[in-house]
Structure 1
Amino acid sequence: MASWLSAWPCMNYLAHIYLSGNDQQILCGNFIGDGIRRKESMHFSHGVRRGIELHHFIDGFTDHHPETENARKLLRPVLRKYAGVALDIYFDHFLGAKWNQFHEQALEHFAHNCHGLLDTFEPRMPEKSRRFYHYMKAHNWLVNYRDMKALNTVFAGMSRRSRFPNNMHIAVELLEVHYEELGAHFERFFPELQRASSRFLDQK
């Protein structure tokens, strides 16, 4: 990822948290995994380190999968270097919108429980993760990414904060134009990511 994009943390936290399964330590490690170096991870428990490793596995699998590569090609003429960042958010939108296909618990209850788990881990979070967690929780991103109005707010804020010219302010419009095609990419990609993540966690 280009250095001028690395200031933004991973933006698809609903997917990361969902793929952590039922292990609290793995979930917490997965949440803070963005930007944690291997040397820094040694300060945490085995379970949290495993979650950090899972985070990087998910990112690598996603970045190199043919479905996400094709989806980024669709977005790149308009969003350029920001296509991958936007796609992370789009795919969390589709996961939230299709939540009942993937989880028996209502998304609102799932998010509430995840916030409770992360609250207990917050004192041990790196400062960057803690600041982002406060913002994510306050704006209820785990639930609200499924809502187009909320996405407009997220992308508009990202556009303003960027030091470089960008078209993030029209990212929701772009999502609406290509909604069916991007949704199809998600439908083909996400089950493969689920299976790959499960296999990764099965490796002790």
Structure 2
Amino acid sequence: MGDFVKGAVPEDWPQELKLHLYLHRKLDRFTADDPIFAQSRMRLDPRFRYARGILVDVFYDHFLARNWSRYSDQPLEFFSRDVYRGLLQCFELLPAALQQQLPRMIEYDWLTSYQYPDVVLRVLQRLQQRLKNRFPLTDAFSDLERWGDDLEADFFRFMPVAANEMNKWREQAAVD
């Protein structure tokens, strides 16, 4: 949802929904300055320019889905189901674009399917269209194939640092 909600968060939203959105934004800010994430961006072809951050985000989502059991005792399928259920419970609050995508997201179980390379390629195709073909993002799939081991090693170094940061933020948010 964080990719669809821009600007101020409506005050009348449920607190849990606002916290999830703020957490997403915190993670986005963290990755923008993180040296490990920056190293992954630099591995990708420079012709993708600032879209390299978007690509690394997609690739890290892929690695997370593939290695989910390292980070959670809850199976990815159950986590995904809970996320979809939560989004459906607040459907009327979601931005129109997300309301349109949510049925497909659930039907094709996007969160779980990120573990498969062919799905990553389809995600890149959709992103390329959303960016009005300014960047040939589907070409970056070859960077995933070429640099996949190095990118995944970056991901494994990034995750504990990011998790620690997000846990600190959650603890602080609980106090506020």
Give the TM-score taking structure 1 as reference length: 0.76
Which has the larger displacement, 100-109 or 162-171? 162-171
Which of 170, 179, 190 in structure 1 is aligned with 2:139? 170
Measured against aligned partners, the alpha-carbon deviations of 1:74-122 in whole angstroms (never above 9, x if no partner) come to: 1142422321111111000000111110111221222122212221111
Q: Hey, what's the Cα distance between the residues in 1 that align with 2:130 and 2:27?
A: 26
Which has the larger displacement, 182-191 or 132-141? 132-141
Alignment of 1:1-204 (within 5 A): 31-32=1-2, 34-38=4-8, 40-203=9-172, 204=175
Measured against aligned partners, the alpha-carbon deviations of 1:131-188 in whole angstroms (never above 9, x if no partner) come to: 2333422332101111011112221233345434423122222101001110111011
**Shift of the alpha carbon at 1:32?**
4.3
CA contact (8 A) 2:32 2:38 kept: yes
Which has the larger displacement, 89-98 or 42-51? 42-51
Percent identity, aligned pairs only?
23
**Shift of the alpha carbon at 1:61?**
0.4
CA contact (8 A) 1:33 1:51 kept: no
SS at match of 1:63: helix
Q: Could you say if the C-alpha distance between residues 105 and 50 of structure 1 is closer, same or farther in structure 2, counting changes exceeding 3 Å?
A: closer
CA contact (8 A) 1:68 1:185 kept: yes
Give the TM-score taking structure 2 as reference length: 0.87
Measured against aligned partners, the alpha-carbon deviations of 1:37-63 in whole angstroms (never above 9, x if no partner) come to: 22x422313333222221211110011
Give the CA RMSD over aligned residues: 1.9
| Count of aligned residue pairs for this structure pair | 173
What is the letter of the counterpart of residue 153 of structure 2?
Answer: A
Considering Cα pairs closer than 8 Å and 6+ residues apart, tell me whether 1 or 2 has the greater RCO: 2
Which has the larger displacement, 120-129 or 89-98? 120-129
